[in-house]
Amino acid sequence: MRIGKIEILPWNRKNFLPRIIVVGLFFVWVLGCTFAIINEHRIIRVQQQEIQEQEQRREEILRREAEYKRRVRQDQMIRSSVQNAVDYAR
């Protein structure tokens, strides 16, 4: 194997250190890529959770708003029916 000007002969005592360095660099590269992929998946998962939480908050706000409007309408209906009863009694 030849890397630049360095020639690594197969299983020779002279090339033990360069071979260890090359193998070590390969494993560091593999571990770094693995870590980057895992980290990217973690970031994507966190972003998806944040989006889901925002949608839940939005739905909760809409539900509360609809409940509030329903109560206001009920109160207005009760008041108008009481007013109609008072007008009718006169």
Q: Write down the mean pLDDT value for the chain.
A: 86
Nearest one of 37, 17, 7, 4 to 29, comparing CA atoms: 37
Distance CA 64, CA 61 (A): 5
Per-residue confidence at 9, pLDDT binned at 50, 70, 90?
low
How many percent of the chain have pLDDT more than 90? 56
Helix (H) and strand (E) counts for the chain?
1, 2
Q: Is the pLDDT of residue 73 over 60?
A: yes
Which pLDDT value is given to residue 4? 78
11 φ/ψ angles, rounded to the nearest 5 degrees: 45, 60
pTM greater than the 0.75 cutoff: no
- Summarised one tens digit per residue, pLDDT across range 40-68 is 999 999 999 999 999 999 999 999 999 99
